[in-house]
A and B are shown apart, each in its own frame.
Chain A
Amino acid sequence: MAGYFLRRIVQAVLILLGVSFITFFLLYVLPADPVRQIAGRSATAATVENIRQQLGLDQPFIVQYGRYLAGLVQGDLGRSYLQKTEVAELIASRLPATLQLMLAGIAAELVLGLGMGIAAALLRGRVADQVLMMTSFVTVSAPQFVVSLLLLYVFAVKLGWFPIGGYGTLWHLVLPALTLGILGSGWYSRMMRSSMIDVLRADFIRTARAKGLTQSRVVLRHALPNAILPIIAMIGIDIGIFMGGIVVVESVFGWPGIGQLAWQAIQRVDIPIIMGVTLVSACAIVLGNLLADVLAPFVDPRIRLR
């Protein structure tokens, strides 16, 4: 077990190193000069050069990257070029909101997706099954911006059940989490349906039914734990996809997460922020995958971590 974790941690560090290198390199070759943005329109060539030197951007790529890594090891993510604020502080102030929304969103995704998938599997071939699968198709392909605004318009503006955007209470969380849940539920419902159908066909389910167990007991006790295994692994992968959706949903609902921060930084080529947010997202994905792997043995004891 300890060996497993050590291996995974080494793997994670290597992945993060790779992500940091690729991102840093792409930002380095990007045809956009952050110094010009900092220096402003009326700057002389000498001022531009001076700022470039102060930021170390006149150094070769490998020196710049080395310096960044050296800072990173000491927990220093650098300072924003344009805001001059510590990147770590900017991210830390927004991370709790994103995590909160992420957890709620994934929970909503699972409840909706698994519910739809199980129902469709049990009602396989009937109209309800077709309706559910069609719905899942629509939710997967619906644009995030449109769904967010639609929910906001109906439930916040027209019905007045929830606040129109903002952050702070549980009520503020419902609509953005639900939006993310609806948008992501399609993948889970399709996956759950096919996984469930496979399991329901298995011999041990027939045995369970032959023993005279009730339908609910067969489904909840025997079929579900087996059918859910591929879903757990999927959650880890899903976090990556989820980050994309979160940027849009955060901006529509005025949710103060890191998605907004990243978007603003990208527009202004504020490299330290872009790097910081990318690394934090990569950490989330790596951790999500690790968590999914660690959880699997608890659901299915046949799986061993090695």
Chain B
Amino acid sequence: MKKWLTSTALVLTLALPVAAQDYTPSPDAKAGGSITVTYKDDVATLDPAIGYDWQNWSMIKSLFDGLMDYVPGTTELRPGLAESYEISPDGLVYTFKLRAGVKFHNGREMTAEDVKYSLGRVTDPATQSPGAGFFGSIAGFDAAGPDGLSGVEVTGPLTVKITLSRPDATFLHVMALNFASVVPKEAVDEAGADFGKKPVGTGAYKLEEWTLGQRLVFAKNADYWRAGVPFLDSVVFEVGQEPVVALLRLQNGEVDVPGDGIPPAKFQEVMGDPAQAAHVVVGGQLHTGYITLNVKMAPFDNLDVRKAVNMAINKDRIVQIINGRAVPATQPLPPSMPGYTEGYAGYAYDVEGAKKLLADAGLADGFETEMYVMNTDPNPRIAQAIQQDLAAIGIKVNIQSLAQANVIEAGGAGTAPMIWSGGMAWIADFPDPSNFYGPILGCAGAGDGGWNWSKFCDEALDAKATEADSMADPAKVEERLKLWSDVYTGVMEQAPWVPVFNEERYTMKSDRMGGEDALYVDPVSIPVNYDYVWVKQ
């Protein structure tokens, strides 16, 4: 009984703020209508276990639901398919009570068995899900196979108990990831490997048409369990559209949202014209662009050299190169992420100071090194600016401008002394500070082939990070964020990265589009939260 009371108390502390901040659409919001969204590339897949790019991420969000969800336009968690949940006092057992009467697009009612099946499917190595690693804290993950996870139990038709092998403060965020979407087994079995082309979920929209290479049509799910949404009858995605052409079509009234945003070459023209600029919505995103310095390679194994490089980079000028579409960064976390250290100045731009540090390191004459960069605009231009900055303190940088896959390979293999992360830079999977650490700054990612390209590994910081991730008690949120803040300032003291900027998101929308701006720069649904936007006429 005591245990029950404690867990209820926990639930209340968790659930209350969430309920208070839930979303109320504008009273002007109207149902009906259709919008056209364009993309340059065809959609790769709509299978929630497989899809992992920013284009299909928000589409999958509209077709599927997970146990948890976010308040539209924010990073606040709210329950999704789970009506409520309880957390055991030790933070190891999560019991989710599912909503009754939720139907899949094929008409069948969703049950607890579907949740078990879906989590088993995404973690089964045969599925080859790029998101499987997120579920590492569920008991039985290491033995995951076709039989599902031992840590996920169905305790009633609409109750699921998930047992973790270690406390994981990010677990509710993980349950809100697309990878945790609930899918019906019979539809997956029927479609086989083609499930990504024939998705069946519980989401606000269902896939009505997919003409490969041409268009996709999402039609409103009239049986959607969340009352009142979606507002639109359909969303038409036209793929294969060059961003410049998409902009011309937007100006011509044929397109409502150019999914790829404003092409860099047209950015100043758009922002300089008040009529066009009025259609632009600006918002932050959980992104940091950084330079990695390989701490295993001379002379970057020397802390003074890494600090000198940090001080030599003129971040304001690099922000200018991308037309001011970013703010200079001082630390790994972006400002909108919880755990960001307010007032932390990082390494200020100081050419003389940098020269002095280099001289202290015995490299007064500088040295020659290589920087890898992805070969699409504006990354080579940013690399050139970095090259110039470093030349000013005597470091000669040779730029290796390569395709994304080649840069990732060199980074993983540890053969790249420096990498400009642009185009591949970290955008958070979920709004929690831990998501910026493990694979890219922690020891786990520093091995051969990992994504920690600076090969930085500090056992003490890793231990702190693990401790922070174990603080699942909601009452300790502040303490936990403080711990993360310490981890990241600790990282900066050792300077394995030069955090350069945090990108701002610029989206455009046509005159017809309704709904508040936050829906157009939704941190988890890029470029638009399709479920909540509406059209005026």
A-B residue pairs, 9 tightest by C-beta: A40-B130, A42-B133, A32-B405, A256-B213, A93-B212, A269-B405, A256-B214, A50-B125, A254-B240
Which residues of B326-373 are within 8 A (CB) of A? Answer: none
Shortest beta-carbon distance, A242 to chain B, in Å? 19
Q: Is A276 an interface residue (CB 8 A)?
A: no
Q: Is the interface of A mostly helix, strand, loop or mixed?
A: helix
Q: A31-B409, A255-B240, A267-B404 are in contact. Are A38 and B213 (CB under 8 A)?
A: no
Which residue among B136, B245, B444 has the maximum number of chain A CB atoms within 10 Å of its CB? B245
Tell me the bound Cα distance from A251 to B241 in angstroms: 6
| Contact of B130 (CB < 8 Å), options: A39, A256, A257 | A39
Q: In the complex the two chains form, is B213's CB within 8 Å of A94's CB?
A: yes
**Contacts of B444 on A, CB cut-off 8 Å?**
44
- Number of B positions contacting A (CB below 8 A): 53
**How far in angstroms is the closest Cβ of chain B from A81?**
9
Residues on A with C-beta less than 8 A from B240 are 250-251, 254-256, 260
- For the complex, is B479 an interface residue (Cβ under 8 Å from A)? no
Q: How far is the CA of A28 from the CA of B404 in the complex (A)?
A: 17
Could you tell me the distance between the alpha carbons of A90 and B196 in the complex, rounded to whole angstroms? 13
Q: Evaluate contact between A40 and B131: CB separation under 8 angstroms.
A: yes
B449 surroundings in chain A (CB, below 8 A): 33, 36, 45, 48
Contacts of A253 in B (CB 8 A): 245
B194 touching A84, Cβ below 8 Å: yes
The answer to whether residues A157 and B213 also contact, given A51-B128, A83-B196 and a CB cut-off of 8 A, is no
| Residues B406 and A31 in contact, CB atoms below 8 Å apart | yes
| A97-B128 Cα distance, complex, nearest whole Å | 32
The bracket for how many chain A residues form the interface is 35 or more
Residue from the list A32, A157, A264 in contact with B409, Cβ < 8 A:
A32
The distance from the CB of B242 to the nearest CB of chain A, in whole angstroms, is 5
Verify if A79 is at the interface (C-beta below 8 Å from B): yes
Could you tell me the distance in whole angstroms from the C-beta of B427 to the nearest C-beta in chain A?
11
Is B65 an interface position by the 8 A CB rule?
A: no
Write the nearest CB–CB distance from A108 to chain B, whole angstroms: 20
For chain A, residues 138 to 152, give those with C-beta under 8 angstroms from any C-beta of chain B: 149, 152
- With contacts A43-B130, A164-B249 taken as known, whether A264 is within 8 angstroms of B41 at the C-beta atoms is yes
Asked whether, in the complex, the Cβ of A42 is within 8 Å of the Cβ of B408, the reply is no
- Segment of B44-52, B290-298, B454-462 engaged in the interface with chain A: B44-52
For A258, the closest partner residue in chain B by CB is B213
Complex CA–CA separation, A269 to B166 (angstroms): 36
* B514 in the interface (beta carbon within 8 A): no
**Chain B nearest Cβ from A93, distance in angstroms:** 4
Chain B residue at smallest Cβ distance from A145? B242
Which B residues touch A174, using CB under 8 A? none
The distance in angstroms between the C-alpha atoms of A165 and B447, with both chains bound, is 47
- List CB contacts (< 8 Å) of A75-103 with chain B: 79, 82-85, 89-90, 93-94, 97
CA of A105 to CA of B445, assembled, Å: 50
The CA-CA distance from A90 to B238 in the complex, in Å, is 17
